[in-house]
A and B are shown apart, each in its own frame.
Chain A
Amino acid sequence: MKNRSLVSISDYSKEEILSILDSAADFEANPNRKTLDGKVIATLFFEPSTRTRLSFETAVNRLGGRIIGFSDAATSSSVKGETLNDTIRMVSCYADAIVMRHPLEGASRYAAEMSPVPIINAGDGANQHPSQTLLDLYSILKTQGTLEGLKICMVGDLKYGRTVHSLLMAMSHFHPTFRFIAPDELKMPVEYKSFCRKNDIPYEETAELSDNFNDADILYITRVQKERFLDLIEFERVKNVYTLKNNMLDHTKPNLKILHPLPRVNEIDQDVDANPKAYYFHQAQNGLYVRQAILCKVLNA
């Protein structure tokens, strides 16, 4: 392997995924360490993402590392027309690892090829966001005690939602059963369904939310993202297609947990938040431990 960058969840084998989750549990037990003492980590956010950036920067801080970088391309020299190649080569002179978010798809893969230091992809357009997938897996493992043989219902925008696609690929190591709940306009793309068939992963599809998750262990809900729609009339038609309400959870399994990558809009009613099955805010906190584990892995620390 050329370097230890993490660009896409498929860069990691099942064993590597499990070892990250193991190490995340360690950090949860004891998050403040000096593992990255003396290390400098660059966070290059060519596209703003406060949530992800704060999570990574907190992870670095709790490990005793230092941070350089920018949170908006408007304050970087890319507005002067500097190529990504040049920015990465320059920053890699200063930093031991680079956490990068970029609006262009494939930017992280390219940066990882150019960079002498490891790149952690914190999102490249609608393509990959592997730390999100790993924190989803960690949340599932933590709440269910296992990743094996779970029934996972995915709800909402299954067409453009990169988190559900990456989660599907990552879960494929662990014999899941899926139910895809989406309106016709936002159905799971054919390539992912054919991936399931090839790997003997059973799935069902439906457009109806109510009562269709009573047998589920995980209910993974996503936001319908306005920015992905070319046709805003279509967006208006589907934006509020599903709203999960507290009383819909009455007959669900006791171990059910509701996950959501956040931010949420209308797809989960506020009255669900107090239900112990609502797990989305804990999920965000788990992101911290998982990112600590990722940083230590790529830095061999």
Chain B
Amino acid sequence: MESKKLQVAALRNGTVIDHIPSDKLFQVFNILHLESCSNMITVGNNLNSDKIGKKGIIKISDRFLEEEEASKIALIAPNAKINIIREFEVIEKRSLKLPDEVRDIVQCQNPVCITNHQPVRTWFHMLDDEDSIQLRCHYCERDIKLEDVRIK
């Protein structure tokens, strides 16, 4: 534990998003619109991780994620962990959970889907198939693999 504390500075109150795959770090950054967030933020990337090799981590002080934000992160980094910190203590560790359905978050990749042409909110159903997780568009019924998901 000691060495981890040295890698990234401690947080008093706020949220730590840990175990983000390194190549997804900046997508998570964008999902949370951290470029326009004035809170204190620490970002680390390519840190050594026993679990996933290289990982990214984001610490945001005084901010706690909305459910929708957590769903978005779950879609692109389902194995990331969210720690909620109060007074330097981790008071809650949350695993991300993929929602059963996703509305207005993911863009349909079918160029002739109605949602890409008319003001229709996108809507996907999660399909947990034997070998891969896929999202099925409620409208055009095409499937997207989880790793190919594009956030709107």
Contacts and interface: CB of A to CB of B under 8 A. Distances in A.
B8 interface: no
Contacts of A106: 113-115, 120, 137-141
A97 B140 CA distance: 22
B142 A105 contact: yes
Interface in B94-141: 110, 112-115, 117-120, 129, 137-141
Nearest to B127: A191
A109 interface: yes
Contact of B119 (A83, A107, A124): A83
A110 B139 CA distance: 7
Nearest to B110: A105
Interface string A12-31: 00000000000000000000
A172 B137 CA distance: 22
A128 interface: yes
Contacts of B62: none
A109 B118 contact: no
Contacts of B143: 191
Nearest to A106: B139
Interface string B47-83: 0000000000000000000000000000000000000
A8 B139 CA distance: 10
Nearest to B117: A104
B140 A127 contact: yes
Nearest to A165: B141
Contacts of B114: 84, 102, 104-107, 109-110, 124
Residue of B113, B119, B137 with highest tally of chain A CB at under 10 A: B113
A80 to B, nearest CB: 14
A3 interface: no
A31 to B, nearest CB: 33
Contacts of B119: 83, 85
Nearest to B143: A191
A83 B114 CA distance: 11
Interface residues of A, number: 19
Nearest to A10: B141
Nearest to B138: A109
B141 A84 contact: no
- Identify which of B118, B120, B129, B143 gathers the most chain A CB atoms within 10 Å of its CB: B120
A103 interface: yes
A83 B119 CA distance: 8
A164 to B, nearest CB: 15
Interface in A73-126: 83-85, 102-107, 109-110, 124-126
B141 A110 contact: no
Nearest to A126: B112
A85 B141 contact: no
A110 B120 contact: yes
Nearest to B139: A106
A109 B112 contact: no
Contacts of B110: 105
A147 B54 CA distance: 56
Nearest to A102: B114
Contact of A8 (B118, B120, B129, B141): B141
A68 B55 CA distance: 61
Nearest to A104: B114
Given A83-B118, A110-B120, A103 B112 contact: yes
A117 B131 CA distance: 40
Contacts of A84: 114, 118
**Looking at A104, A105, A106, which has the most chain B CB atoms within 10 Å of its CB?**
A106
Interface of A: 8, 83-85, 102-107, 109-110, 124-128, 191, 194
11 contacts: A85-B119, A85-B120, A102-B114, A105-B110, A105-B112, A105-B114, A105-B139, A109-B114, A109-B141, A124-B114, A127-B140
